[in-house]
A and B are shown apart, each in its own frame.
Chain A
Amino acid sequence: METSEPLVARHVLEFPGGYTRSTGPVIGRFLTELRAGRIVGVRTAEGRVLVPPLEYDPATGDPVTDDYVEVGPAGTVTASAWVQEPRPEHPLDRPFAWALIRLDGADTALVHAVDAGDPKELRPGTRVRPVWRERREGGITDIACFRPEVTMIVSPVRPEYRIQAGGALRTFLEGVRRGVFLGGRCPGCAKVYVPFRASCPECGSRIAEQVELPDTGTITTFAINNLPDPRAPEVPFVSAYILLDGADIPMIALVGGVPAHEVRQGMRVRAEWVPESERTLSMANVRWFTPTGEEDAELS
């Protein structure tokens, strides 16, 4: 027997124009107040405030009183469910949450949409406020949605400076552009400082004597950095204290051309310079320090 496609058709049941539903006095009052931009609850005989109002107290079956209480407009989220992909009939066209919201002054929670942007911004206890539609018709959608209260602002701070390098730094960087490290010998304590500086941090003497240092030295200690940094070519990278031959204070510099875990304290290294045509007045002229292959130096 020959199989055939099943017979399928779309069938819509929609009363033309929509049902005309009588609200009764309680729900009618609630919707009328919504149209006026207010949210009211109704008090039960036992004194609880129901929001949204109900005609009969679900706890006792008794009719509610005619005591209407304005609540909110702010409220507290008691539970929520995040909607990552809203459907066409949902109140918002971007990810949002359905939430149970206990409005201030109410004893029950109302279901509504919360436009929170990010699910992390919403948890039980989050305070929210309604966003009203400009044109209101007397329906629960007169409240477009709720939004979290303002608890944080973004404060852009951006001081901008014009930095002029001091004379000593300029002297040093001019040396680096030529491919040499310039240090300075303190006339008081005879220590050689590199980069070149104008005064001795130990004894305060003015330093005038420039000392040209070789571009070889010893790694005294180092860190293997596993956090990425724009100035390092890769992760992990080694930042090392390098004591240039003839200097009395180490410089911090990148070590390259050797796997990070093969770097050692005492390792002998030499600066790897960028080609002369690419040099500027900056330490970027030194690509990194790379092992010389000499035997390790002994550390004190």
Chain B
Amino acid sequence: MGNRCAVIGVGQTRYTTKRRDVSIAGLVREAALRALEDAGLTFKDIDAVVVGKAPDLFEGVMMPEAYLADALGAAGKPMMRVHTAGSVGGSTALVGASLVQGGVHDRVLVVAFEKQSESNATWALSTHLPFNASLVVGAGGYFAPHIREYMRRTGAPDHIGTLVAVKDRLNALKNPYAHLRIPGIDRAMVESTPMLWEPIRYLETCPSSDGACAMVLASEPAVTGTPAWLHGTAMRSEPIFRAGRDTVNPQGGKDCAADVYRQAGVTDPRRQIDVAEVYVPFSWYEPMWLENLGFAAEGEGWKLTESGATALDGDIPWNASGGVLSSNPIGASGLIRFAEAALQVRGMAGEHQVDGARLALGHAYGGGAQFFAMWIVGRERP
């Protein structure tokens, strides 16, 4: 894993449908300045900047990283852009971490953002090339069949997705940055919303958000403030068109989890990990990823959800922040998972803090569930 690396600063903007009051540059700067303030540093202390976001088609700004150099204090410093679809936020953190772990830099600023209000992500994800006759409409249209297949294989009852939709939104009420804050959210409210891509209901999907998230990563000698230490980092990908590919329980996710657990010495994630921030953009992905990430045996993930184990007061809280279901500035959504994991082990998660969290998982996935990024952070040095 290379040299020790720690998260020493976290900054987030409030996530919302439209941040009309700021430009893209103003948005990323807001998150970056908050991360620097958290670390007690300024742009002068940063050696390199890594920027992540989802497809350029979302905002129609090509190579936004070039335009954002000024806003992120990157003039005269190495700066790079990461893009791995929805997992990009996680990959951005890992690319930044690798610069520290590899001994190249002492302090790296990682920033990810999306300003979805500048266009429409479903449009941008449904550009139909000539000669093809793809019928996939947006991310929901892509993932709905795989959720249906999960339900068939496991025999999970219909209401499991509803439980996750309610649980994550209840958590969001405790997170001042969360986008969807729905007072009185309950099963009846979720079930009263229409099916968009059956079996996915409206309130079982993530919102479209504007927002940015940033972190300062540091080498051991450069640590300031309260560190969250990296215990494991891993990325995997797999071809989307591959005969025999398991789209419900992708091999790439299993391999990525195995790698990050090995580095962190985790053999039983359910018992050893205190809190997990996992990329769940559609509610059914919680039980699916519980199995993919080894928190439950194959076919048993939904039982863990149903038992309440993943609730904030359960034995393995998932998405204490409200998760992607509550805030989804796509390019930043993965980085937010990684940042929230760090906040938990730093004891700085505020009202959604999981008491005594010492080891946390941050997870992101993207594309057709084909890109995976994960890290495990801990309160103690590895």
Contacts and interface: CB of A to CB of B under 8 A. Distances in A.
Interface of A: 151-152, 155, 157, 163, 165, 169, 173, 189, 191-193, 197, 201-202, 220-227, 229, 231-232, 236-237, 239-241, 248-249, 252-254, 265, 281-284, 286, 299
A231 B180 CA distance: 32
A225 B197 contact: yes
Contacts of B245: 249
Contacts, number: 104
A247 B186 CA distance: 44
B160 interface: no
Contacts of A222: 145, 148
15 contacts: A192-B243, A223-B144, A224-B144, A225-B197, A226-B194, A226-B197, A227-B138, A229-B135, A231-B133, A239-B137, A252-B135, A253-B135, A254-B135, A281-B131, A286-B133
Interface string B102-114: 0000000000000
Interface of B: 20-21, 60, 128-138, 140-141, 144-146, 148-149, 152, 194-198, 200, 239, 241-245
Chain B's interface: helix, strand, loop or mixed, by majority? loop
Contacts of A151: 20-21
A173 B131 contact: yes
Given A189-B243, A193-B243, A222-B145, 12 more contacts: A169-B131, A224-B197, A225-B137, A225-B141, A227-B196, A232-B135, A240-B145, A241-B145, A249-B241, A249-B243, A265-B149, A282-B130
Nearest to A265: B152
B120 to A, nearest CB: 12
B191 to A, nearest CB: 15
A231 B128 CA distance: 10
List 3 A-B pairs, minimum CB-CB distance, nearest first: A283-B133, A223-B144, A224-B198
Given A224-B197, A226-B194, A248 B148 contact: no
A286 B133 CA distance: 10
A202 B144 contact: no
A265 B135 contact: no
B141 A223 contact: yes
Contacts of A286: 133
A282 B133 contact: yes
A222 B198 CA distance: 9
